[in-house]
């Protein structure tokens, strides 16, 4: 039985951590993306400036640098805040896993805000005007008109972002999270078989992206039910 020099289970554990990372980042990515899109489309100039500044800054910084800044800078900031509140020296350690989740959520959220902004703008203006004429409040218009259609327009873009997210989880290994690449690097160095372990890592990532592509394609088809195709 091919068990990767007895490290097959470790690679599977790394795959499970990668899945946990992706599923933990996804809801935060969506929430940040929706907030960013709402800010960009807001009638308040300050909110538009904040939304645009966030996406420009985050999209212009390498993901690896964001991870390192969150992991080391976040620890220092929270530690200083805890010392200021308690009035005494305090040691705070942020788990590397959640530092990675925060960093990837910030990065992917910036891209998701563009996806959601474009999706909102794709909704026919006539529908919004008709809903307003019927006496719907802005909240009702968002929940009954915009939100149901938003996903249909946004899912293709979110599909692409999730594929990128799966691959970006490999960057979290630099702060010690034992996902696929970390496990592969340990196995490659210990067993002196880098090609074998990195090939297995490649196949695992390929399997994850293929499965997620299938799931998103099904979601896109479900969201497009009843929509006439040209």
| 16 within a domain of the structure (yes/no) | no
Between 171 and 143, name the one with better pLDDT. 171
- Rounded-to-integer distance, Cα 185 and Cα 198, Å: 8
How confident is the model at residue 117, as a pLDDT? 92
| 118 within a domain of the structure (yes/no) | yes
Neighbour tally for 173: CB within 10 Å: 22
| 107 within a domain of the structure (yes/no) | yes
How confident is the model at residue 230, as a pLDDT? 46
171-223 pLDDT, tens digit each: 999 888 999 999 999 999 888 889 999 999 999 999 999 999 999 999 888 87
- DSSP 3-state helix, strand, coil percentages of the chain (rounded to 5)? 80, 0, 20
| 59 within a domain of the structure (yes/no) | yes
* Highest mean pLDDT out of 73-82, 141-150, 165-174, 214-223: 165-174
| 109 within a domain of the structure (yes/no) | yes
| Count of domains for the chain | 1
Tell me the average pLDDT of the chain: 88
CATH number at residue 32: 1.10.3720.10
How confident is the model at residue 42, as a pLDDT? 85
- Quick one: average pLDDT of 38-64? 91
Instruction: Bin 5: left if φ > 0, else alpha if -120 < ψ < 50, else beta.
Output: left
How confident is the model at residue 1, as a pLDDT? 37
| 10 within a domain of the structure (yes/no) | no
184's CB contacts (< 8 A; 6+ apart) are 11, 14, 197, 198, 200, 201
In which domain, by residue range, is 112 found?
25-177
How confident is the model at residue 163, as a pLDDT? 95
């Amino acid at each position: 039985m091919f068990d990767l020099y007895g490290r097959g289970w470790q690679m599977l554990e790394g795959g499970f951590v990668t899945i946990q990372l992706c599923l933990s980042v996804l809801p935060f990515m969506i929430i940040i993306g929706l907030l960013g899109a709402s800010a960009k489309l807001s009638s308040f100039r300050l909110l538009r400036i904040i939304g645009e500044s966030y996406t420009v800054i985050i999209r212009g910084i390498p993901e690896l640098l964001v991870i390192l800044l969150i992991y080391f800078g976040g620890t220092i900031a929270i530690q200083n805040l805890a010392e200021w509140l308690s009035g005494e020296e305090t040691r705070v350690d942020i788990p590397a896993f959640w530092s990675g989740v925060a960093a990837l959520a910030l990065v992917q959220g910036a891209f998701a805000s563009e996806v959601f902004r474009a999706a909102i703008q794709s909704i026919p203006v006539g529908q919004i005007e008709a809903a307003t004429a019927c006496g719907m409040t802005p909240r009702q218009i968002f929940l009954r008109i915009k939100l149901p259609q938003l996903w249909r327009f946004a899912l293709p873009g979110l599909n692409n972002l999730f594929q990128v997210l799966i691959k970006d989880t490999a960057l979290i290994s630099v702060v010690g999270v034992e996902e696929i690449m970390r496990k592969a690097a340990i196995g490659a160095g210990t067993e002196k078989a880098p090609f074998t372990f990195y090939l297995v890592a490649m196949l695992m990532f390929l399997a994850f992206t293929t499965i997620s592509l299938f799931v998103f394609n099904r979601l896109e088809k479900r969201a497009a039910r009843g929509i006439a195709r040209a």
